[in-house]
Amino acid sequence: MIARVGIAVVFALSLVGCGGGASSHAVLPGASQGATTGTNAQFVIKVPPKTGTGTGRGPAYVSPSTQSVSMQVDSGTPIVTNLTPGSPDCNVPAPLSPLICTLPLVVAAGTHTFTFTTYDGLAGAGNVLSTNSAPFTVVANQANVVNLTLAGVPASLLVEPGSGDAQIVGSGSVGFQFTGEVPHTVIVLPQDADGNLILGPGAPTISASVTGASSGSGLSVAPASGNPNAFTLSSTGFGTASLSLVATPAAASAGSALNASVSLDATVYSSVIAGGGGGPYADGTGAAAGFDSPAGVAVDTANNNLYVADTYACSIRQVTTAGVVTTPYGPLPPNTGVCGATNGTGNAVLFDRFYALAYDSANGNLYEIDAGYGCGLRQITASGVVTTLAGGTTCGYADGTGSAAEFSGSTGGIVYDPTDSDLYVDDTNNCAIRQVTLSGVVTTVAGNPPPTASCGTVDATGTAARFYESQGIAYDSVNQSLYVTDRYRVRQVTVPGYVVTTIAGPVPPTSTLGFTDGSGSAASFSYPFGITYDSTDGNLYVVDSRNAAIRQVTPAGVVTTIAGSTPPTPSYGAAGGFGSAAQFEQLYGVAYDAATNALYVTDERNTSIVQVQL
């Protein structure tokens, strides 16, 4: 509220207050002829009508709950006047208009301190809503104006997400959950004792800081541009912290600073984008689409579509990020389970119960390995032509070129290395990592060499290393390493050199299933399947199948559960939500899409494709 003192004619004085965004105006009384010790004066105040939360009011502050005002000149006795429609000198000119009160005051010429205080009770009772003082020298026989801004007294803070951001939920009372690694806006609005917003001139100054941020979260806050009540939350990872808020009144007389603390949780948001409706094998959008047994998933970076290995449907499904599902390769719905090893184009092709898919970003090709019919590694070009690159004659274990090579009937993962333009196959039943050039030359680079599969758990170099039940495989182009999930642990395989080490989970020969977050050997897994590399922040993401959880693994081996079950106890279901509110049944594949900064996960038992927004 801005109050103006004006002097005109013969010692005529006017004090004018405004509120609710209304413009102020001078109200000059008639001259008081012959007065020498004092002058008649008027104080004009406008009290805006209540409008719900008050957010529709303009940027000036007089609380709609104002019931009385105290007017004091210097140390004189305060004059307290009620401000109600029935009070003398008060009226409401029209429906929904402000209450306008014109109050008498006597002021002598000279230097004075004017103090005004508003209350939410009659006769100066109840809570103080605003107050302030200002010195001014009143000079006779000239116009005088003093500007006085009433300082609102903050009693609480209304903290809420910025408008239009669906990836942050909560409030100042319960805290906020939001997707990490992307900025979010929160609005901090001071309120008076009656819950009215204190806006504009006279509003407290708001400051914000982050305290107690968990390691690796990178949680921070900064003022947003153009709005003193807006702040931007940022994080470089996932974790928790407290948002410390301070509202400092615009005047010392308005009381001490108000402090508040709000909990923050930077996490992920999981939502089903396709399938999950329990329907039959079918193309369609969202829940209208049906999968038989979705497993491996790959992202086509050329068009940002997903490709899903629908294992027992023996087909490759295309899924847009909007959840539109089609079947470009293999038998069209509803002809599920029509399997074989027939090359060709589009829907004329037959595959056999494959689990893994890889996308070659340089050439736009897909790759899969059949579980039978010769266990061939098949290439699918961008134009839809399917050919056999390696294997395809006999399922087994042999290095060689083209059809001379052999793979087992269970290959858990396949990945493309853009650095050397090679493929790497996680040959599960042969307990080996196989390199495949794009000309079809197959070489075992880690694990016991052909023709005899020898499984175990040994960290070593090349063919001296042993794998137990490796499933997923990912490639990190920054560190030029492969990462493999191996039943109990996550293992790194350098490229070249093929040095195998365990970065997370029990160190060989210890093999223990579990569900604990931690660093290195302090972490534990239970049948981790798919794994993917996040090219944006350099982390790995693992789907921990029996724990029904998605785990983040840093290159240093620090493991954090970001979605699904909370350690140490797995829980199962089918639900979306932030962090641990999401529920899964049997996770299998995972791929990272840099364009949407999201993971795409297959839940085999729920027959669904889940987007996990980072």
Same domain, 600 and 512: yes
Same domain, 377 and 406: yes
Task: Look at residue 316 and tell me if it is in a domain.
Answer: yes
What is the pLDDT averaged over residues 75-94? 88
pLDDT at 216: 86
* Residue 339 DSSP class: -
149 has pLDDT over 90: no
Q: CA separation (Å) from 471 to 5, 154, 295, 355, 431?
A: 80, 58, 12, 10, 10
pLDDT at 40: 54
Residue 136 and residue 112: Cα distance in Å, rounded?
A: 5
**pTM score, whole prediction:** 0.84
Same domain, 130 and 161: no
Same domain, 500 and 598: yes
pLDDT digits (tens, 9 = 90+) for 292-302: 999 999 999 99
Same domain, 302 and 404: yes
From 138, 167, 202, give the residue that closes a domain: 138
pLDDT digits (tens, 9 = 90+) for 202-219: 899 999 999 999 988 999
Give the percent of the chain with pLDDT over 90: 75
32 has pLDDT over 80: no
Task: Look at residue 1 and tell me if it is in a domain.
Answer: no
Task: Look at residue 283 and tell me if it is in a domain.
Answer: no
pLDDT digits (tens, 9 = 90+) for 284-293: 999 999 999 9
Q: Which three-class secondary structure state does DSSP give residue 168?
A: strand
Same domain, 401 and 355: yes
Sign of the dihedral defined by the CA atoms of residues 439, 443, 446, 448, in that order: positive
Contact 13, 5 (CB under 8 A): yes
What is the pLDDT averaged over residues 338-352? 96
Gyration radius of the chain's alpha carbons: 35
Domain tally, the chain: 3
Tell which wins on pLDDT, 11 or 316.
316
Domain of residue 121: give its range: 41-50+59-138
Task: Look at residue 7 and tell me if it is in a domain.
Answer: no
pLDDT at 222: 97
- What tokens were used for 3? 């109050």
pLDDT at 145: 65
Residue 84 and residue 67: Cα distance in Å, rounded?
A: 6
pLDDT at 35: 28
Buried b (16+ CB within 10 A) or exposed e, 7-16: bbbebbbbbb
Same domain, 478 and 447: yes
The CATH number of the domain where 444 resides is what? 2.120.10.30
pLDDT at 5: 39
Name residue, tokens 């604990």.
Answer: 516
Name residue, tokens 């299998």.
Answer: 588
pLDDT digits (tens, 9 = 90+) for 154-198: 999 999 999 889 899 999 999 999 999 889 999 999 999 999 999
Buried b (16+ CB within 10 A) or exposed e, 208-236: bebeebbebbbbebeebeeeebbbbbbbe
Same domain, 347 and 458: yes
Same domain, 243 and 392: no
Task: Look at residue 28 and tell me if it is in a domain.
Answer: no
33 has pLDDT over 90: no
494 has pLDDT over 60: yes
Contact 247, 154 (CB under 8 A): yes
474 has pLDDT over 90: yes
Could you list the beta-strand ranges (E) of 212-314: 220-223, 230-234, 239-248, 258-267, 269-275, 284-285, 294-300, 305-310
Task: Look at residue 98 and tell me if it is in a domain.
Answer: yes
From 78, 108, 138, give the residue that closes a domain: 138
pLDDT at 146: 62
* Lowest-confidence pick of 102-111, 217-226, 381-390: 102-111
Q: Which three-class secondary structure state does DSSP give residue 324?
A: strand
From 106, 138, 170, give the residue that closes a domain: 138
pLDDT at 432: 98
pLDDT digits (tens, 9 = 90+) for 368-422: 999 999 999 999 999 999 999 999 999 999 999 999 999 999 999 999 999 999 9
What is the pLDDT averaged over residues 605-612? 97
Residue 231 and residue 126: Cα distance in Å, rounded?
A: 33
pLDDT at 144: 63
Task: Look at residue 148 and tell me if it is in a domain.
Answer: no
24 has pLDDT over 50: no
Same domain, 249 and 310: no
pLDDT digits (tens, 9 = 90+) for 525-570: 999 999 999 999 899 999 999 999 999 999 999 999 999 999 999 9
The CATH number of the domain where 224 resides is what? 2.60.40
Residue 267: burial class (beta carbons within 10 Å; 0-12, 13-18, 19+): buried
pLDDT at 371: 95
Same domain, 205 and 330: no
What's the mean per-residue pLDDT of the chain?
Answer: 89
What is the pLDDT averaged over residues 303-328? 96
Residue 36: pLDDT band by 50, 70, 90 thresholds?
very low
pLDDT at 147: 66
Residue 11: pLDDT band by 50, 70, 90 thresholds?
very low
Q: Cα-flanking dihedrals φ and ψ of residue 123, to 5°?
A: 60, 35
Task: Look at residue 272 and tell me if it is in a domain.
Answer: no
Residue 335: pLDDT band by 50, 70, 90 thresholds?
confident
pLDDT at 143: 64
61 has pLDDT over 70: no
pLDDT at 224: 95
pLDDT digits (tens, 9 = 90+) for 569-581: 999 999 999 999 9
25 has pLDDT over 60: no
Same domain, 252 and 352: no
